[in-house]
Structure 1
Amino acid sequence: MKKATLLISITLSFFLITELLYSQKQNYPSKPKDGQTEMVDTRIDNMGYWNRMAEKGLVPVAPVKPYEPAVYTGSQIDAISVAKDDSPDVPVTELTNVTQSENSIFVNPADNEFLLNSNNSTSWSGSSVGTLYGANSFMSDDAGLNWYGSEQGAGGSNWGDPTTAINLDGSRMYVGYIHSNGGQGVSYSTDNGNTWTSVISGIAPGGWGLLDKNHLWIDNSPTSPYEGNIYDAWTAFGGSNDEDIEFVRSTDGGVHWSATPINISSAVSAGSHNQGVNLQAGPDGEVYACWSVYDSWPSDETAIGFAKSTDGGVAFEPATRIISNIRGIRTSETSKTMRVNSFPVMAVDISGGQFNGNMYIVWSNIGVPGINTGNDIDVYIVHSENQGATWSTPVKVNQDPSGQGKEHYFPWITCDPETGILSVIFYDDRNVASNQCEVYCANSFDAGETWEDFKVSDVSFTPAPISGLADNYMGDYLGISARGSYVYPVWTDNRTGQFMTWVSPYITNNLPKPTDLNITLNDETGEVTLIWQFEGTKDFLYFNVYRDGNILGTTTDTTYSDILPDYGVYTYGVTAMYDDGESVPASGSIQWGDAHIAVEPVAISQNLVIDSSIIRIMTIENVGELELIYQISPEITSKKGGKDYCSASGGCDEYISRVILGDIDNVSDCSGYSDYTDLSTMLNMDETYDITVENGQVYSSDDLGIWIDWNQDQDFSDPGENVVCEFDNGGQGTYSFTVPSGAIPGETRMRVRIKWSGSDCGDPCGTTTYGEVEDYSVYVLGWLLVDPLGDTIQAGESQDIQVTLDATDLEEGIYTADLNITSNDPDNPLVTVPVNLIVGEDIPTLVAWADPAEICSGESSQLNADVTGGSGSYTYSWTSDPPGFISDEANPIVTPEDTTTYFVEVYDGLFTIYDTTSVAVAPVPGVCETPTGETQLCQYEQNTTYNTTGAIYALSYIWNLSPEEAGTISGGGTIGIVNWNFEFSGQAFINVTGVNDCGEGEPSEELIITVNPLPEVSLVVYDSVCINTVPFELTGGLPEDGIYTGNGVNNGWFYPEDAGLDWHTITYTYTDANGCENFAQDSIYVGECLGINEIVNGIHFEIFPNPSNGEFAVKFNKSL
């Protein structure tokens, strides 16, 4: 037992503890220590328990403190997944002398406007808590607009942790809670909450024990053989199932419960305990339980446990860890002044719909699950489609961007038992200061694959501990319940200075929506085809199609095509429009293009005289279509061998909970000794760094020591290697150290130790009764510096990387490293560039080069290895990539078929030096695509244009037209222009050939053009007509069925009077079946036709017409 420190017991005046004392973080041991006569179990998360500890003077309570006023932000809901855009917050009571926190809510299956809410309730003086009432009961029968009920505990005072349920026909309501004796209780009501009957469901373990963090559920599936069964579970702190989840059931409406609880969590073998159980029932009577697994304490949640029963809760299959390597927030906490947790919450689809039977689990995680780093706290969901046999990859529920340090916590999920729609509630600070919150909800219509989130609270507020309660308490969870599209989120906030329960009902958008959206992409053209399914209704109008939230168009078909504007990642949505509004979308994403990396050179080799340095340039190029994100991790591969490091460990209690140094940010539990040498960071000589170590269980006499083996001799005893030595300061803090200039470059060991007592930082070796040891790796980059180590390169661009090789103070020898370049290139995610540095006083230097460095296919190049210095006697070894070439000549000749990198190794009897050179092989162009353009022409075309998409490697193009008499073709690019011979008719042929410095490629396939002759056309009309001649049809044109045009011509008829007196040209145009057109012309004269009228020798003569075409009439008579 450690040396005791007197703990003074205090009375209820302790409630008035100064804020200065309270504001300091309080850590209490998980076993009696420092003179305590009773243990404070920091694992327990119950208001009643902590209230009792405060009354005994073992823990402080929240002081009276002015509250921060809330900010009204509006009751509007901006979400397509919600049918109405306004949802004012409603308090469940108007009482001003109570507090309410930690809410549970349940919708009556027989009436989705009837609700049951239970919350932790206390009396309130206006500034502080007085009496603890426990889990109470409030009801609403008008969809949450008005409430009635009692602030007193349902069925009597209790210790809270409320959980609610209503049976299928609505005749029986239930409230579960921690009994005031430390056991478990369930109260039921058969008169809509007017009266309650309390029943003990779990026997208290006795002593310091407690049955904590309970959850209650009811089987309401109409298809279940166990419909109506009630299930209750909790964590037993004490008793035979200590630190495990216990489960009981009732088959008679909560009147009687299992005599002996079942231990359902032991098979996960938690290192510390299991806590935060959540129960659900499946469509066929399955019973499911999930909870948080703690493998040490205190710690964040690290895994989720799961167990199921298929016989109505009679027996459970052995529990499993369905997801490991998560990081909750139990001890890391948030930036808000309130205690938190990351207990998982579950929902099961019993709707009978598309996703019937699916299970869903949500929790809050620091960073991305499995990576678990960063400042974000996000809500994640996993689901199972096979009763928990397998689980999906986690999906983020909150939709604001990651990496902003925002916090989303206390999620609760519900699955609408009629529609299958998922809804989640959580606290959220995306729009406010880091110490403030709003309440958000999110809806999913596709089994949790995609989400729409939105603000649901009318205010932003500042969380704070409830004055007079202990352990920073402001409630441990929120609530949400749904049925028939009615959704009821419920939470606690302090907007009025009083901690109260608020409800903000909304209705999900249940208009029939498109389903099964399938998105296909043509990688060549960027054309996207959308196809979806839809069961139409009579009120349906049309579909809206969106890309990245912007509407593209509308259609009544179940398919749509789009051309992407550029390479990138795009999200599509298709909604259905009705007279009553717009449905939620069927959504999906598509990516066009990728990032692709090219690195030059593929290796770096350098010889340096001692105390000299050089900067080499390495170029990273993005040869893809999307931005390239890369990171360079130098790894020194020339290492010193030797003995193993000494062993060290501790007996825990205080322990290393977090280490931060450069790229290392490791959160851990206590294992006595942990080898984290797979975690590393880079250090530069002569630079100063900060290291932070956090203690998971602080004692004032704890000590901290940190050692780094600068000379890599596998011990920590050399001067300057004890970089941090702090004692009697809690064993934690942030400290600085400087990398000595004499440190040996490469990977070396760092050891961190926390121990108790001794007023020194201890020894790096050996075992201590208390404390812990952890080992890490650091890379000292003395002779190798790389800048930058990471960046983003846009498509088609490149970046030069400075690689500094520094032989200052190095010993003579060979130094090697790898530059490991990771990127988002899906085909080449890791590129390794080896670095070879030879340091000496008289070392040979090598320059390899090729002459010429670029050749055409079939040509040769001479490789050259120019060596100076060294012994003067050299041996050569050439190899290649692609492999296949080997030579021991100094200057070999090569004839590569493809571009090849050549590696030369030269040995002078003492040193081996390296260099590389490349020969680029430029091939002749490939075959062009067949030209495109008009293929049916008529004689007398002046010119036409033809195109080709070109050929790979072509610099220019040769166009060919045959036969020669067809005309000529010009153009050196991808466009050819034909100047046709007017007299030519028949077939012509066009092809195109790519050309570069290495010659011509194969010609393309020929495009055949048919030049059709013009038709032969003739026209004969009258020479002359009289102006008063009746209009007549023109018929002299051949071939028939042509078109007549000219003065006085209308629709094939000639109108002399319209034409007028004079000569007129008539044109006859004829177009044949090939579309070729020709014409003929003739003239016609329109005259007055006055005739000749004379009297000769008493005889009257008339001759008309005059003029005439040779035919005329003669009329005469004798005068009287």
Structure 2
Amino acid sequence: MKITINLVFLILIVSTSTFLPQGSGLFIGENYILYPSNVNQTEVFVTSHPTNPNILFASANTIVFQPFFISEGIYLTTNGGVSWYGSDTCNGANISFHQGDPGITIDKEGRFILSRLGRQPFYGIYSHYSTDNGLNWSSQNKITSDGESLYERATLVTDNNHSSPNYGRTYAAWVKLSGSFPVEFSFTDNIASPWNSTRTINSFTQRSAGPDIEVGNDGEVFICYALVTSISPFNETGIGFAVSTDGGNSWSVANNVFPVNGINGVLPQKSNIRVNGLPRMAVDKSNTSTRGTIYIVTTQINLAPAGSDPDIILYKSKDNGITWSSGIRVNQDALNNGKTQYFPAIDIDKFGGINIIYYDDRTTTNDSTSVFLSRSTDGGLSWTDYKISDHNFKPLPIGGLGQGYQGDNIDIVAVENKLFPVWMDNSTGIYQIWSAAISFEPNKVENYQESIEDFYLYQNYPNPFNPTTKISWRSPINGLNTLKIFDVLGNEIATLVDEYKSKGYYEVNFNINTVQIGKLTSGIYFYQLKVGEFIETKKMILLE
């Protein structure tokens, strides 16, 4: 029996959503606190599950003064952000020696992974993992090899691409706060096992700071970092970039791929809070013409295209970091208007949209701030700005934690057609993690139909899958499109598409529960696309 599935985009618009006039296709809900508590929550990160879009994991520095205690918050949702639960303390031993500064990821097994700093006598960077969605955590596992030195926070990423040669490998990068302040790196193929020995990525005399790490579409590992001056305020002067094509065993390093003029220091107009111009990075993994593009976003001042006040500046590379574009000014308010943008975070959605959040005081006084999202659907050529916070707040330093400390970053993650931004906000009298439900219309991403000059059948996602996976392709011609599923013996399982289509990009869902021939068992299956003379077949795996 022939089965035809037509693609339908489902847009979630809750009753509290507000449609903003700055652009079309974006819906922003009311702001809310992820996990209300009486504990300061700062330096927040968020990540998504590799196969379950309803599971998100966030963490933050959590700080109590009486008695003094620093840990790492554990905040979870299993229903796509409708509700959150968690704790302000990671319960992995040794709890008394946690020092915060979390990095987070979720591996191919669905295990939550957290890195954090250790306190005397357990100096170093340690990891914990959870197999029950963050309720319980393993004992500490040391990542760094030198227990005497101090370190910056580690950033984590897991290669969850099933076709990658290093599928499931988790990577960590950090800066060692001694010597020449080099970027260091390690990895593990099993978070329950010891980490590999530490590798030094760069050995230059100029200090490094704030590395970020990402995985490419073919298993490449990318690390970017700031080059900073050797004297206070340690201003960012350039961006270094390193790439590994063998799972982190060897590296190609360029110490200054483009110059920057960062903002490391304090903002006097905002009660001298501490800020920085450290880079954040994302890789386009969409099935669009911008797939594979690497984006690095920074905060800069007095270096074009930045003006005389801090602006958000983006760079991109289409050749794995060999060459880079000129800087692109992201925020679209007037240049040199005396307004301040800082702490950008970036993620690329599955449709190729670039999404960058940051603090911005363009709609309030200079001693306060709000949160904005800038979104581009054409590879960064044009931008639309949205105010996503429904109130302003006045940032203040948290006393006793170093000059001007209020936390050094915010974050965003894209899942399907939804965006999940997280930021710290002290409007309740204490810093808490805030967010807003954001959804968008996928067909507003112009790249999806842009420059289709050849045929391409994409790898299904997720893969392995159960019970549903997405299959997408592009065709440069008008004609009959046929997409079928076969088992390993060549028996036809289902016909998903058999109809005339105009040239363009298409995507369908395959759900094993819709198959009419009976229950499918775990194993290898094939999907085949025919358009005119073009025929291509790819493998997918069903895991029950």
- The interval holding the TM-score normalised by the smaller chain is 0.7 to 0.9
CA–CA distance in structure 1, aligned partners of residues 108 and 438 of structure 2: 22
Instruction: Using the TM superposition, give the Cα deviation of residue 353 of structure 1 relative to its aligned residue in structure 2, in angstroms.
Output: 2.7
Match of 1:444 in 2: 376
CA–CA distance in structure 1, aligned partners of residues 253 and 266 of structure 2: 31
Pick from 130, 137, 155: which aligns with 1:215? 155
Alpha carbons of structure 1 residues 514 and 277: separation in structure 2 relative to 1, 3 Å: closer
Pick from 424, 433, 444: which aligns with 2:356? 424
Match of 1:194 in 2: 135
Match of 1:499 in 2: 431
Aligned pair 1:312/2:247, yes or no? yes
Contact 2:309-2:337 within 8 A present in 1 as well? yes
Which ranges in structure 2 are unaligned for 5 or more consecutive residues? 1-15, 452-474, 479-501, 503-544
Match of 1:287 in 2: 221
Q: Deviations over 1:828-872 (max 9, x none)?
A: xxxxxxxxxxxxxxxxxxxxxxxxxxxxxxxxxxxxxxxxxxxxx
Instruction: Using the TM superposition, give the Cα deviation of residue 122 of structure 1 relative to its aligned residue in structure 2, in angstroms.
Output: 1.6
Pick from 311, 317, 327: which aligns with 1:384? 317
Contact 1:144-1:503 within 8 A present in 2 as well? no
Instruction: Using the TM superposition, give the Cα deviation of residue 256 of structure 1 relative to its aligned residue in structure 2, in angstroms.
Output: 1.8
Alpha carbons of structure 1 residues 183 and 535: separation in structure 2 relative to 1, 3 Å: farther
Match of 1:457 in 2: 389
Alpha carbons of structure 1 residues 514 and 330: separation in structure 2 relative to 1, 3 Å: closer
Q: Which has the greater radius of gyration?
A: 1
* AA at the equivalent of 2:324: W
CA–CA distance in structure 2, aligned partners of residues 468 and 391 of structure 1: 41
Aligned pair 1:396/2:329, yes or no? yes
Contact 1:133-1:151 within 8 A present in 2 as well? no
Match of 1:405 in 2: 338
CA–CA distance in structure 2, aligned partners of residues 497 and 332 of structure 1: 21
Q: Matched residue of 2:443: which SS?
A: coil
Match of 1:726 in 2: none
Alpha carbons of structure 1 residues 154 and 351: separation in structure 2 relative to 1, 3 Å: farther
Pick from 48, 51, 65: which aligns with 1:107? 48
* AA at the equivalent of 1:218: T
Alpha carbons of structure 1 residues 129 and 281: separation in structure 2 relative to 1, 3 Å: farther
Which ranges in structure 1 are unaligned for 5 or more consecutive residues? 1-73, 519-532, 537-557, 559-1120
Q: Deviations over 1:394-421 (max 9, x none)?
A: 11111111110111000011122x3222
Match of 1:508 in 2: 440
Match of 2:33 in 1: 91
Q: Matched residue of 1:505: which SS?
A: strand
Match of 2:200 in 1: 263
CA–CA distance in structure 1, aligned partners of residues 419 and 162 of structure 2: 21
Alpha carbons of structure 1 residues 501 and 314: separation in structure 2 relative to 1, 3 Å: same
Equivalent runs, 1:594-743 vs 2, <5 Å: none
Q: Matched residue of 1:213: which SS?
A: coil
CA–CA distance in structure 1, aligned partners of residues 69 and 352 of structure 2: 38
CA–CA distance in structure 2, aligned partners of residues 503 and 313 of structure 1: 34
Q: Deviations over 1:650-692 (max 9, x none)?
A: xxxxxxxxxxxxxxxxxxxxxxxxxxxxxxxxxxxxxxxxxxx
Aligned pair 1:146/2:83, yes or no? yes
Match of 1:322 in 2: 257
Match of 2:526 in 1: none
Alpha carbons of structure 1 residues 503 and 189: separation in structure 2 relative to 1, 3 Å: same
Instruction: Using the TM superposition, give the Cα deviation of residue 113 of structure 1 relative to its aligned residue in structure 2, in angstroms.
Output: 2.2
Q: Matched residue of 1:461: which SS?
A: coil
CA–CA distance in structure 1, aligned partners of residues 66 and 298 of structure 2: 30
* AA at the equivalent of 1:413: I
Match of 1:1063 in 2: none
Pick from 174, 178, 184: which aligns with 2:117? 178
CA–CA distance in structure 1, aligned partners of residues 445 and 400 of structure 2: 51
Contact 1:415-1:421 within 8 A present in 2 as well? yes
Instruction: Using the TM superposition, give the Cα deviation of residue 311 of structure 1 relative to its aligned residue in structure 2, in angstroms.
Output: 0.3
Match of 2:298 in 1: 363
Match of 2:185 in 1: 247
CA–CA distance in structure 1, aligned partners of residues 87 and 398 of structure 2: 20
CA–CA distance in structure 1, aligned partners of residues 360 and 330 of structure 2: 12
Q: Matched residue of 1:382: which SS?
A: strand
Q: Matched residue of 1:134: which SS?
A: strand
Match of 2:534 in 1: none
Aligned pair 1:478/2:410, yes or no? yes
CA–CA distance in structure 1, aligned partners of residues 21 and 280 of structure 2: 24
Contact 1:87-1:505 within 8 A present in 2 as well? yes
Contact 1:129-1:466 within 8 A present in 2 as well? no
CA–CA distance in structure 2, aligned partners of residues 248 and 76 of structure 1: 44
Match of 2:61 in 1: 120
Identity of aligned residues (%): 31
Match of 2:507 in 1: none
Match of 2:210 in 1: 276
Pick from 127, 130, 133: which aligns with 2:70? 133
Q: Deviations over 1:967-1020 (max 9, x none)?
A: xxxxxxxxxxxxxxxxxxxxxxxxxxxxxxxxxxxxxxxxxxxxxxxxxxxxxx
Question: When the two structures are superposed, what TM-score results if normalisation uses the length of structure 2?
Answer: 0.75
Equivalent runs, 1:21-36 vs 2, <5 Å: none
* AA at the equivalent of 1:472: G
Equivalent runs, 1:883-922 vs 2, <5 Å: none
Match of 2:11 in 1: none
Alpha carbons of structure 1 residues 400 and 236: separation in structure 2 relative to 1, 3 Å: same
* AA at the equivalent of 2:115: G
CA–CA distance in structure 2, aligned partners of residues 189 and 308 of structure 1: 29
CA–CA distance in structure 2, aligned partners of residues 154 and 477 of structure 1: 24
Alpha carbons of structure 1 residues 85 and 482: separation in structure 2 relative to 1, 3 Å: closer
Contact 2:316-2:324 within 8 A present in 1 as well? yes
CA–CA distance in structure 2, aligned partners of residues 535 and 451 of structure 1: 30
Match of 1:76 in 2: 18
Match of 2:100 in 1: 160
CA–CA distance in structure 1, aligned partners of residues 310 and 430 of structure 2: 27
* AA at the equivalent of 1:480: I
Q: Deviations over 1:954-973 (max 9, x none)?
A: xxxxxxxxxxxxxxxxxxxx
Alpha carbons of structure 1 residues 133 and 514: separation in structure 2 relative to 1, 3 Å: closer
Alpha carbons of structure 1 residues 274 and 513: separation in structure 2 relative to 1, 3 Å: closer
Contact 1:359-1:385 within 8 A present in 2 as well? yes
* AA at the equivalent of 2:351: T
Q: Matched residue of 2:442: which SS?
A: coil
Pick from 161, 164, 172: which aligns with 1:224? 164
Number of matched pairs: 432
Instruction: Using the TM superposition, give the Cα deviation of residue 517 of structure 1 relative to its aligned residue in structure 2, in angstroms.
Output: 7.9
Match of 1:1075 in 2: none
Alpha carbons of structure 1 residues 514 and 145: separation in structure 2 relative to 1, 3 Å: closer
Contact 1:491-1:502 within 8 A present in 2 as well? yes
Match of 1:581 in 2: none
Alpha carbons of structure 1 residues 467 and 420: separation in structure 2 relative to 1, 3 Å: same
Contact 1:179-1:200 within 8 A present in 2 as well? no
Relative contact order (C-alpha < 8 Å, sep 6+): which is higher?
Answer: 2
Contact 1:205-1:236 within 8 A present in 2 as well? no
Alpha carbons of structure 1 residues 367 and 110: separation in structure 2 relative to 1, 3 Å: same
Contact 1:493-1:499 within 8 A present in 2 as well? yes
Contact 2:103-2:153 within 8 A present in 1 as well? no
Equivalent runs, 1:801-880 vs 2, <5 Å: none
Alpha carbons of structure 1 residues 84 and 415: separation in structure 2 relative to 1, 3 Å: closer
Match of 2:174 in 1: 234
CA–CA distance in structure 2, aligned partners of residues 368 and 134 of structure 1: 38
Contact 1:293-1:301 within 8 A present in 2 as well? yes
Contact 2:36-2:432 within 8 A present in 1 as well? no
Q: Matched residue of 1:335: which SS?
A: helix
